[in-house]
């Protein structure tokens, strides 16, 4: 007798944005899909931290500009109260320096609010199912801008990270191998993306090996 596979539990999401109309729009997009469930909302960072602490969602969508604490402080507090929750930042603008800081804090994504419905759904699903990935919707020009000052040559550590990435190792596996934190691995990957003009791990690996002599 064949056993019927149990359906996966829906991804639990919290929305934190001070614009009610935007929250409603995102909520409608997610609620239309069977694999998402909105478990909380908040209109500022402090309330967002409280909702996350109470609900322990799989993913929180966090607006970058809200009244109260800076987004970096809010992200750090969310990581404190619910370490397993994946944070995706939503922003109107490319801000490379801020992206770098947030990736260093452990956020798993930075999306421009101009993304399409399908891009948003893909990002939230990826955050829930592939937590080692860093999801960026910023432009290549932004990654390579003068406001994101990284030298063209990869450092020794960045090359080590790329060699392990090419072996399909996850961020946690790379961190364990190199005896560094996952946040540091993500920061190295973000810097590599900027230096190579890459938009994904596969793109970065391909461009990395294309640059190698011989």
Rounded Cα distance between 66 and 16, Å, is 9
pLDDT at 17 over 90: yes
pLDDT at position 2 is 52
In this prediction, residues 168-194 reach a mean pLDDT of: 86
For the segment(s) 156-211, the CATH number from 2.40.50.100, 3.40.140.10, 1.10.10.10, 3.30.9.10 is 1.10.10.10
pLDDT band at 195 (very low <50, low <70, confident <90, very high): confident
Pairwise pLDDT comparison (142 vs 101), residue with the higher score: 101
Architecture of domain 11-140: 3-Layer(aba) Sandwich (3.40)
pLDDT band at 150 (very low <50, low <70, confident <90, very high): very low
pLDDT at position 212 is 63
Decide if 11-140 and 156-211 have a common fold. Answer: no
pLDDT at position 151 is 46
% of the chain surpassing 70 pLDDT: 85
Long-range contacts of 188-193 (CB under 8 A, 24+ apart): 188/157, 188/158, 188/161, 189/134, 189/161, 189/165, 190/99, 190/100, 190/103, 190/134, 190/136, 191/100, 191/150, 191/158, 192/154, 192/158, 192/161, 192/162, 193/136, 193/143
pLDDT band at 97 (very low <50, low <70, confident <90, very high): confident
In this prediction, residues 69-78 reach a mean pLDDT of: 92
Would you kindly state where each structural domain of the chain is located, as residue ranges? Answer: 11-140, 156-211
């Amino acid at each position: 007798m064949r056993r019927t596979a149990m359906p996966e539990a829906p991804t639990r999401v919290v929305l934190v944005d001070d614009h009610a109309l935007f929250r409603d729009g995102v909520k409608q997009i997610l609620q239309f899909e069977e694999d998402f469930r909105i478990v909380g909302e908040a209109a500022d960072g402090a309330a967002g931290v409280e909702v996350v602490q109470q609900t322990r969602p799989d993913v929180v969508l966090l607006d970058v500009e809200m009244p109260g604490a800076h987004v970096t402080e809010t992200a750090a507090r969310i990581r404190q109260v619910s370490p397993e929750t994946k944070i995706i930042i939503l922003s109107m603008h490319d801000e490379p320096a801020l992206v770098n800081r947030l990736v260093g804090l452990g956020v798993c994504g930075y999306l421009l609010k101009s993304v399409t419905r399908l891009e948003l759904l893909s990002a939230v699903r990826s955050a829930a199912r592939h937590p080692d990935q860093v999801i960026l919707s910023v432009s290549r020009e932004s990654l390579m801008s003068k406001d994101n000052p990284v030298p063209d040559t990869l450092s020794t550590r960045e090359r080590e990270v790329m060699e392990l990435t090419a072996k399909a190792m996850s961020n946690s596996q790379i961190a364990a191998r190199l005896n560094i934190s996952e946040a540091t691995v993500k920061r190295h990957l973000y810097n590599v993306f900027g230096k190579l003009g890459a938009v994904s791990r596969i793109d970065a690996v391909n461009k990395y090996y294309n640059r190698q002599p011989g």
